[in-house]
Amino acid sequence: PADADPPAAPGPVAVLGPEPTWATAADVVVVGSGIAGLTVALRCAEAGRRTVVVTKALLDDGSTRWAQGGIAAALGPGDTPEQHRDDSLTAGAGLCDEAAVRTLVTEGPDAVRRLMATGARFDTAADGTIALTREGGHHRRRIAHAGGDATGAEISRALVAAVRAAGIEVVEHALALDLLTDADGRAAGVSLHVMGEGRHDGVGAVHAPVVVLATGGMGQVFSATTNPAVSTGDGVALALRAGAEVSDLEFVQFHPTVLWLGPDAQGQQPLISEAVRGEGAHLVDGDGGRFMVGRHELAELAPRDIVAKGIMRRMRETGASHMYLDGRHFGAAMWERRFPTILASCRSHGIDPVTEPIPVAPAAHYASGGVRTDLRGRTGVPGLYACGEVACTGVHGANRLASNSLLEGLVFA
């Protein structure tokens, strides 16, 4: 109610459970090991800061390695950051922070080049330039990809190798419990529960004046999602307990085309990248009709919320449990060259995209909101930062533009 008393300011964070049995110290502790977390760790280490990365699974087990489509940036001839900005603002349904979007699109191209300098290898065209594709909401081909449809796996490989080469300390199988704070309420590290061996086992702590949350999303809150098992909203929960603000948590993006595995399928579902539609595949109903034509000027390449709604409407109209993505006209050679990961995934479930349409339905995919930050990643708690999917910088508004997620992780990290 408008006349209700405001909530009391949070006090010092209490660490629940047993006392820590081990502790280590650093200048910076990064919680999470996706594109954002590993980029932060590398940049901090380059600046001479002793950095520790903690992750609740293995170093390469975050959401990044599951990304298929690619990373968006104005890298192609005739493309400009302004055009990328306009597409991002349109997809965000009027709720983006324009300053944040401007930062994303203007710093994006150089961020991608730095990633390449780190060792990430993107697919190239015949003339040696970066091969670019198109995805939903984009009016130009501006999506750089790797391994056809294994962009995230390549980025993760390159960043993990760089972190290992830099000698950055990593604590795996470490669940971050709570933010540690000093008497003035500043971040002082994190408490952890580690299922490991030797020194890093049991309840422990990393003491550091700077804590960076890069824990990814919360897709596992939903019964069907594209997110891996580690995406359970830990970072948002930790930040809330520490007194940080969160924003736009209601804006959870559902990916329109996830492989439909039956009514009882739960947990992580195989993603069918938007790039498949970007290369010309069509969404059709059970009778073969292209139901997105006429619903939006971009048809199957409309922003994701529009396509997901279009699929759900057609499912309700026809009483069907799913729709279909038809890429049979690609032919076997293109499927094998451009989308080998998706092809193998479909075939492992008894579906051959070369000869039959792929059954698809929407599933939870991306948290557009999260821990509220400024353009430097700062939260309202001194010393606590956030970046990547766990953060809400304002760049996504109500609906993330396709392939802006990896770019946000790079730029704001």
Render 4-42 in DSSP notation, one character per residue. Answer: SPPPPPP-PPPPPSSPPSEEEE-SEEEE--SHHHHHHHH
Query: Three-state SS string across 180-195, please?
Result: EECCCCCEEEEEEEEC
- Strand 22-25 to 202-207 pairing: parallel
Rounded to whole angstroms, how far apart are CA atoms 392 and 375?
10
Distance CA 318, CA 266 (A): 23
Catalytic residue among 102, 157, 277, 304: 304
Known catalytic membership, residue 304:
yes
Residue 12 exposed, middle or buried by CB count within 10 Å (0-12, 13-18, 19+) = middle
What is the rounded distance in angstroms from the CA atom of residue 412 to the CA atom of residue 37? 10
b/e 255-279 (16+ beta carbons within 10 angstroms → b): bbbbbbbeeebeebbbbbbbbbbbb
User: Which residue spans within 90-186 are E strands per DSSP?
Assistant: 132-133, 143-144, 169-171, 174-181
Alpha helices in 119-231 (DSSP H): 151-166
Rounded to the nearest angstrom, the gap between the alpha carbon of residue 87 and the centroid of all alpha carbons in its chain is 19
191 bridge partner residues: 178, 205
Q: Which residues are designated catalytic? A: 304
